[in-house]
């Protein structure tokens, strides 16, 4: 069976470090061309993998040797270029978040569905096998009571696109989507926002950190922390009536890393539980290829992306903004 022929729109660091190596390792995917507004960057990245290079995204969408595109563009460019790619008849894999707004996400999903094309959000971490193992372990925690997740990183260089409001920058859409999606993944899609705070940097014009408290229909709380302004943390924890489970490196484990969950019993004794190593980028690409061959994205992926977009919208609406 012929592999899915893909283009990469944008010479982003995530494409160079993680996605293109994963594409090269997955037989179901064939990377074909890289495009960038900077021709030198496109040529350099394409040269690393023996691919073609294009000087414009428009040129890629006019080609007749592609099945799909991967968009690692700045957040504000996801919607317009995903829309154009779908209108060109291409399947689309978009870096998280799918778009910067609830309405744009819904519009793209309607467009993809109407044209019989696959639109998927590249939320890689949920494809890692460790999270299914965590789900199985949750049965031993008793009645769930609370969930806590954090994804925070130290400040970036001043010119980083994450600090560009015109490009959809800010901590909520960069690191905040991870703990939010983890809460949805483990507690269910029907979470609501109980409270939220966003730390808004006056000079940069974006939120650089924040916290949120979510509530599930059955009363489980989810405390989320995210930021571009504090020490590195990448973990989540689930507490129940019969124990507590902690998973570190939850969102960005490198390929080959064998994760370890820490299980604490009611008496405070801690047990280390080895989990399966995985390459979450390769797992996502295999999922995308299966969807393209089936002619539709998995219903649970479509529903999760839209639920996430709605929850991000509600969080922004409910948030108290603290200016720093």
Show which residues are catalytic: 96
Cα dihedral: 243, 151, 124, 45 (round 10): -150
Of 104, 43, 92, the closest CA to residue 66 belongs to: 92
Kindly report the length of the chain: 324
Strand partners, 144: 240
Q: Take residue 205 and report the two structure tokens written for it.
A: 């014009």
10: left (phi over 0), alpha (psi -120 to 50) or beta: left
263: left (phi over 0), alpha (psi -120 to 50) or beta: beta
Strand pairing report for 144-152 and 52-54: unpaired
Start-to-end CA distance of the chain, whole Å, equals: 55
């Amino acid at each position: 069976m012929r592999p899915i022929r893909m283009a990469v729109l944008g010479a982003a660091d995530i494409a160079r470090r993680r996605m293109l190596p994963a594409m090269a390792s997955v037989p179901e995917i064939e990377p074909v061309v890289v495009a960038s507004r900077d021709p030198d960057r496109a040529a350099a990245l394409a040269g690393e993998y023996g691919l073609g290079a294009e000087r414009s995204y428009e040129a890629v969408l006019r080609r007749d040797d592609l099945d799909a595109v991967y968009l690692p563009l700045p957040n504000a460019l996801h919607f317009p270029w995903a829309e154009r790619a779908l209108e060109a008849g291409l399947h689309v894999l978009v870096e998280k978040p799918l778009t910067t707004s609830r309405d744009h996400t819904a519009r793209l999903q309607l467009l993809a569905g109407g044209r019989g094309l696959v639109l998927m959000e590249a939320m890689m971490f949920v494809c890692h096998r460790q999270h299914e193992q965590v789900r199985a372990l949750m049965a031993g925690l008793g009645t769930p009571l609370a969930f806590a997740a954090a994804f925070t990183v130290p400040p970036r260089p001043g010119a980083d696109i994450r600090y560009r409001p015109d490009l959809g920058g800010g901590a909520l859409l960069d690191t905040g989507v991870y703990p939010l999606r983890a809460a949805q993944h483990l507690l269910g899609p029907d979470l609501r926002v109980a409270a939220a705070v966003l730390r808004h940097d006056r000079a940069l014009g974006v939120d650089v950190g924040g916290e949120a408290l979510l509530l599930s229909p059955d009363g489980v709380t989810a405390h989320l922390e995210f930021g571009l302004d504090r020490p590195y943390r990448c973990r989540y924890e689930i507490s129940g009536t019969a124990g507590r489970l902690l998973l570190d490196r939850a969102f960005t484990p490198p390929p080959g890393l064998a994760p370890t969950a820490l299980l604490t019993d009611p008496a405070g004794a801690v047990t280390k539980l080895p989990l399966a190593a995985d390459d979450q980028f390769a797992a996502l690409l295999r999922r995308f290829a299966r969807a393209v061959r089936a002619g539709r994205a998995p219903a649970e992926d479509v529903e999760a992306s839209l639920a996430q977009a709605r929850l991000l919208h509600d969080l922004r609406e409910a948030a108290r903004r603290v200016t720093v």
